[in-house]
Chain A
Amino acid sequence: MTDTLRKLLSSAFVGFCALSVLIALVPLAFILFFVITQGIRAINLDFFTHMPRPVGEAGGGMANAIVGTLIVTGLASLMAVPIGIVSGIYMSEYAGTRFAAAARFAADTLNGVPSIVIGVFAYGVAVLPFKQFSAMAGGFALGVMMIPIIARTTEELLLLVPGSMREGALALGATRARAVFTVVLPAALPGIVTGVVLALARIAGETAPLLFTSFNNRFFTTRLTQPISTLTVQVFTYATGPYEDWHRQAWAGALVLVTIVLTCSLLARFATRRLERMHARG
């Protein structure tokens, strides 16, 4: 091969790589553009404060679905935050052990299980025995998805805490539990909180696990044993329905979801940056 050809090939390759980035950013821009323009046209105060109107009647909002999403994700966090953090502590404290490796493997496996499968599982465990769709079943399904994310984040962040801090505590006569809970965990806490916020943002956007756990509800409810409406399931119902006004509301719902996700991602990014700077300063 001549040198010119080699150089040409090299330039073509560099060009292809740059083009790939553009190809990926185009759909991102398109999605954000449509969600924002269509969403802003559709959103109004009623969306947040009103209930869905009867079929065929324009207007109304998703007040019940917004409250529902808050309740279901809240229940999921109640379940997943303690389990995730404590199992993360185990995986980092006993990092070299076989059992920790098995738990880590289980966490990664759970993380890769399709969300619809989690839904089927939650249906069998939390809906079938009670013969009732419920907010609690939805919270359980999302909680199962949240646990591995929090566990792995906690583990990684705890491992970043300098060993000297733990050793200092142990040298002063602290038990392992005390060293972890009063020294190591507080040092990693800002990062863990960031991880929890990101996990929340991710599960708040989940639809598939809720379809047959928390199901849907046309009415306002805060009862945990009743089916409950959520933003994502409502967007799905409206998007696949036949009415123009439903589509409008689906875009409004999408705008709210994307705003939640974007805000959380940006917050997490700034928080991580600050943490990194703090670590760099030592």
Chain B
Amino acid sequence: MGQGWRKDIGFRAGTGVFALLLILIVGAIGVELTLQSMQSISQFGLDFWRTEIWDPVAGEFGALPFIWGTLYSSILALLIATPIALGIAVFISELCPALLRQPLVFLTELLAAIPSIVYGLWGIFVLVPAVRTVEASLPDSVRSLPMFAGPPLGLGMLSAALVLAIMVIPFTSSVAREVLKSVPPAQREAAYALGATRFEAIRAALFYARTGIVGAVMLGFGRALGETMAVTMVIGNNPQVSLSLFAPQYTMAAVIANEFTEAADDLYLAALVEIGLVLFIITLLVNTMSRLLIWSMARSGAKAPAAEPAAAPAPGTA
């Protein structure tokens, strides 16, 4: 016993070191980014995030346009992607014939597997020209609205939001699907027993799963915030704060991707690292919150009585 016990301690410590490495890497990212951006943090303070002018040549660093572009594009993407992603999740987990389920899961997950750079390439040569045509064809009465102000370039906020939406859909829908799976079948059966229509029963299931659904949406938000290449290639890369969907804008990830290797002096580099640091913190908060929501949903689902077999009986399809 004594001998084996000691060996087990060795095994635990030996593997534990590698687990510790995971924690250390996350910590190291935070520390490294903070150290590298110290110069910018101490020189500009909070003004960095309130100033709108980004002119590195003149030594003016204001990151407001980037945080605006990141938030605006991600929120727009979420508005487009969320209903579609939830629709897909409901269709696959509640409505579609069993035979179609696996192929559909595979196809939607393929959307997540396509590299960002391929989305970007497609965005530049296919989506942007299409968006430009649509933008140019809008009547003048629409074009005078602030949301649609400016020349129809194609490159701009609208294209970025569309690409982001496509890229976010598979993440949100796959988590929402898992969440719906954890809703006890009794929830739906009770609704049907009371004479509910299919919509009403599914609405009950969605309501039961609301915490997890919000978690799924936030997970998509986290993905959208950090997405780099595809957005960089279609958003137009112009640091300005504008409501217009047509306006070329910029995001935090995109400015780092474009300007990092060109940053000639230390302050410029520190400013870019600070943008990276804040992006790191924001995505960390969003992802953590999303995971807590999904996790609390999964736990409450597991606690619910599950006397019946796991597979939810498909409501009469005839």
Q: Are B117 and A254 in contact (CB under 8 A)?
A: yes
- The answer to whether B54 has its CB under 8 Å from any CB of chain A is no
- The answer to whether A47 has its CB under 8 Å from any CB of chain B is no
Q: Are B117 and A116 in contact (CB under 8 A)?
A: no
Which residue of B87, B116, B283 contacts A20 across the interface (Cβ within 8 Å)?
B87
CA distance A34 to B260 in the complex (A): 31
Q: Are B16 and A90 in contact (CB under 8 A)?
A: yes
**Count of chain A residues with Cβ under 8 Å from any Cβ of B?**
88
Q: Are A18 and B11 in contact (CB under 8 A)?
A: no
Cβ of A49 to closest chain B Cβ, rounded Å: 23
Interface 0/1 of A244-275, CB less than 8 Å to B: 00010011001001100110010001000000
Interface 0/1 of A22-65, CB less than 8 Å to B: 01110110110011001000000000000000000000000000
The residues of A with any CB-CB pair to B shorter than 8 Å are 6-7, 9-10, 12-14, 16-21, 23-25, 27-28, 30-31, 34-35, 38, 82-83, 86-87, 89-91, 93-94, 99-100, 102-103, 106-110, 112-121, 123-125, 144, 147-148, 151, 173, 175-177, 180, 201-202, 204-208, 211-212, 215, 232, 235-236, 239-240, 247, 250-251, 254, 257-258, 261-262, 265, 269
Residues of B within 8 A of A215 (CB): 261
Q: Are B116 and A87 in contact (CB under 8 A)?
A: no
- The answer to whether B225 has its CB under 8 Å from any CB of chain A is yes
Interface 0/1 of B98-112, CB less than 8 Å to A: 000000101111110
Q: Are A116 and B4 in contact (CB under 8 A)?
A: no
Q: Are B114 and A31 in contact (CB under 8 A)?
A: yes
Cβ of A77 to closest chain B Cβ, rounded Å: 16
Interface 0/1 of B265-277, CB less than 8 Å to A: 0000000110010
Q: Are A239 and B84 in contact (CB under 8 A)?
A: no
Residues of A within 8 A of B107 (CB): 25, 28
Which residue of A14, A18, A147, A258 contacts B198 across the interface (Cβ within 8 Å)?
A14
Cβ of B312 to closest chain A Cβ, rounded Å: 15
Q: Are B199 and A116 in contact (CB under 8 A)?
A: no
Cβ of B26 to closest chain A Cβ, rounded Å: 5
Q: A34-B122, A87-B19, A106-B23 are in contact. Are A10 and B198 (CB under 8 A)?
A: yes
Q: For window 80-107 of chain B, which residues contact chain A by CB distance below 8 Å?
A: 83-88, 90-92, 95, 104, 106-107
Cβ of A50 to closest chain B Cβ, rounded Å: 21
Q: Are B273 and A120 in contact (CB under 8 A)?
A: yes
Cβ of A227 to closest chain B Cβ, rounded Å: 11
Q: Which 10 A-B pairs have the closest CB atoms?
A: A114-B226, A205-B115, A20-B87, A10-B197, A112-B287, A10-B199, A90-B15, A103-B19, A177-B11, A17-B91
Q: Can you pick out 25 interface pairs between chain A and chain B where the beta carbons lie within 8 Å of each other? A: A6-B197, A6-B199, A9-B197, A14-B198, A20-B86, A24-B173, A25-B108, A91-B19, A103-B22, A109-B284, A109-B288, A112-B287, A114-B280, A117-B280, A117-B283, A120-B33, A120-B260, A144-B25, A177-B10, A205-B117, A208-B228, A239-B120, A261-B114, A265-B109, A265-B110
Q: Are A201 and B122 in contact (CB under 8 A)?
A: no
Q: Are B83 and A236 in contact (CB under 8 A)?
A: no
- The answer to whether B12 has its CB under 8 Å from any CB of chain A is yes
Cβ of B258 to closest chain A Cβ, rounded Å: 9
CA distance A120 to B276 in the complex (A): 7
Residue among A117, A202, A232, A269 with the highest chain B CB neighbour number at 10 A: A117
Residues of B within 8 A of A14 (CB): 95, 198-199
